[in-house]
Amino acid sequence: MKDKLYLSGLLLFCLMQIVTAQGLDNEQGFKLERADDYFLMDEDVAFSMLDEEVISNPYSVEALIKRAKLKMRYGQASEAKKDLDRALQINPFALYLYDFYGKKGIIALLETEPNKALVSLTVEDRVDEYRDYLDNMFDKERFSGGSFEFFMSILNLIELEEYQEAVDQTNAYLTNYPDSNYAMDLKAFALIELGEIQTAKAELLKALSYNIENAMTYYKLGRIARIEGDEETALDYFNRSISINSAMGKAYFERAKVHKSLGQYLMAVRDYSKAMEKSDFTKSPSLINRGLTSKMLGDFNRAHSDLSKSIRLYPSNALLYKNRGNISFLMGELEEALRDYDKAISLNEDLAEAYYNRSLVHYKLQNKDLSCEDLARSAALGITKAATKKQILCDPIDTGIRVTNKQ
């Protein structure tokens, strides 16, 4: 099994060198790093430097992995395997922690949970955009007899979470105006918030029979399709909504979430950007989600920028700091990552993922005691793999190997 791991690593490493030389991206969208500086040196000089580093600190897994990579480059696979064996004996997670498998390896090691930080539009956001929509649609021919004021009053009830009252009042209105597709649409809005999904769906389909060009109705049908777990149908509804009203920011926002769910990260990022452009009501949540989705594309610079802007808007959001810390970790900015994890923990002392990820930063910064403290804390908070790593890295069985910090 271990031989297969090394063979896979060797093939991956060689492929990375070829792709890096050509300046291309891999299929996951991760921008491959340029070769390490010692690859650019004379072969003898590079080996001499790494040999000296390993001799001066035989427990440095980072030096062992660097030397293994160099040996692979010059066709010394069996000798490289010895260095990798040694690195894994010191730290079984070394190949992930020290970039042997690239950024995807680090992501696999981190406790990321990006979906946990994704945000949704609030009822208030959706009400505000609906008000704006009605303002733009309003004219005396379309809304007569006080209808506009009535629809605004229903939106007020929904914003106040008086959903049943909103349903009752729209029912009364529909008694006098049975073909009012806007009243049906608003009734469905309240029904969705009440959790009466099938009744809401029937009301929306009825509304379409009176007005097939109501973008709001298609938008709500898309939301219902998402609630039902049918992403492809949701995508179709959001497409229709946008084709009717290309200024509807929340339709772009929800379509972005569908694209992200389907693994179409680039399309999701584009739609979050559109949502920010089209509506002030979707700007802030789109900024957060675009940052998190950009990380999945490997666009760490945009991800870091978006989350930094989001933190300025929401300075008490611990998850934003934790996720920016993850991105800084991936970018090799360990001190910056450490500051963000510290801040996340100061805002939420029970944020298990922040303790776990901070333990990895401490380990790479050779602060073993602090790393072990964080592993213990994250294990106590429910991170299962933290307990395993603590047992191996902090309470090692006596195998003749001593896990020490580089002096």
**42-90 tens-digit pLDDT:** 888 888 888 888 888 888 878 888 888 888 888 888 888 888 888 888 8
**361-376 exposure pattern, b = at least 16 Cβ within 10 A, e = fewer:** bbbbeebbebbbbbbb
Residue 223 and residue 257 in contact, taking contact as beta carbons nearer than 8 Å:
no
Residue 87 to residues 61, 65, 334: CA-CA distances in angstroms? 5, 7, 21
Mean pLDDT of the region 250-262: 96
Mean pLDDT of the region 253-271: 96
Please name the residue that has the structure tokens 């229903």: 154
Distance between CA atoms of residues 274 and 111, nearest Å: 30
Q: What is the pLDDT of residues 285-329, one digit of tens each?
A: 999 999 999 998 889 999 999 999 999 999 999 999 999 999 999
User: Which residues make Cβ contacts (< 8 Å) with residue 63, sequence separation at least 6?
Assistant: 50, 53, 54, 57
Phi-psi group of 41: left, alpha or beta (phi > 0 → left; psi -120 to 50 → alpha; rest → beta) = beta
Residue 341 and residue 373 in contact, taking contact as beta carbons nearer than 8 Å:
no
Mean pLDDT of the region 161-172: 96
Residue 294 to residues 40, 74, 289, 307: CA-CA distances in angstroms? 31, 36, 8, 10
Mean pLDDT of the region 343-369: 94
Residues present in the chain in total: 407
User: Which residues make Cβ contacts (< 8 Å) with residue 240, sequence separation at least 6?
Assistant: 215, 218
Instruction: Tell whether the model's pLDDT for residue 112 goes beyond 80.
Output: no
Per-residue confidence band for 195, with pLDDT thresholds at 50, 70 and 90? very high
State whether residue 365 is helix, strand or coil.
coil
Per-residue confidence band for 115, with pLDDT thresholds at 50, 70 and 90? confident
Q: How far apart are the first and last CA of the chain?
A: 34
In this predicted model, which residue has the larger pLDDT, 148 or 12? Answer: 148
Instruction: Tell whether the model's pLDDT for residue 92 goes beyond 80.
Output: no
State whether residue 25 is helix, strand or coil.
strand
**% of the chain with per-residue pLDDT over 90:** 56
Which domains are assigned to the chain? 2-109 (1.25.40), 123-295 (1.25.40.10), 319-393 (1.25.40.10)
Whole-number mean pLDDT of the chain?
84
Residue 303 to residues 243, 306, 309, 355: CA-CA distances in angstroms? 29, 5, 10, 21
Q: What is the pLDDT of residues 8-48, one digit of tens each?
A: 554 444 444 433 333 333 333 333 233 356 677 788 888 88
Please name the residue that has the structure tokens 């070769």: 35
Q: What is the pLDDT of residues 175-188, one digit of tens each?
A: 999 999 999 999 99
Mean pLDDT of the region 201-207: 96
Distance between CA atoms of residues 29 and 24, nearest Å: 10
